[in-house]
Amino acid sequence: MENFIIRQCIYDDLDYVISLQEQWAKEDITYGLIPANKEYLFERLGKYFLVAEEQENIIGFVTGVINKAKNMTIFSDGELYIEIEDIYVSKNNRGQGIGNILLNKVLEISKENGIERSLLYSSTKDMESIIKFYKNHHYKTWCIQMFK
């Protein structure tokens, strides 16, 4: 595994994150992905926005937001949970466990802050692989939405 660090995203990283999102969109591996703008990402800065950095290059990121459950069948009303909004590792850096580490770290930080539960959704075009990834992290399927 290459040497990289996981750290909190800072303002100076946002252009790199946008560049990663543009790469993600060009890969055409996710339905409807539109790279975020800097203002949106700026609002996400904080302890639940992490980057993977290798030799001063941002090679991956994860963003999460804390929500309060309301009218959900899986969480009690009022229960706080982290929603994983985005997780991405550049194509050339996949297969090294970086995505696993990013996800584990953001979940660890949320747990340190008293938040035990998490939720995510994916609009990947490779559903089998992403389900396997998240099942390896003990996620369960709540619902499924399909189209034809």
Q: Buried (b) or exposed (e) across 94-119, using 16+ Cβ within 10 A? A: eebebbebbbebbbebbeeeebebbb
Cα gap 100→31, rounded to integer Å: 22
Mean of pLDDT over the chain:
93
Per-residue pLDDT tens for 32-60?
889 999 999 999 999 999 999 999 899 99
Q: What is the DSSP string of 82-137?
A: EEEEEEEE-GGGTTSSHHHHHHHHHHHHHHHTT--EEEE---BS-HHHHHHHHHTT
Q: Taking the model in full, what pTM does it have?
A: 0.91
Q: What are 119's strand-pairing partners?
A: 83
Identify the bridge partners of residue 30 per DSSP, sorted by sequence position.
124
The CATH-assigned architecture of domain 5-135 is 3-Layer(aba) Sandwich (3.40)
Mean pLDDT computed over 71-88: 94
Whether the per-residue pLDDT at 146 is higher than 80: the answer is no
For tokens 């590792």, name the residue.
89
Residue among 129, 120, 123, 121 at smallest CA distance from 147? 123
Output the pLDDT for position 1: 46
- The amino acid present at 89, given as its one-letter code, is V
Q: Where are the domains of the chain?
A: 5-135
Longest dimension (CA), the chain: 45
The pLDDT, as a whole number, for residue 2 is: 58
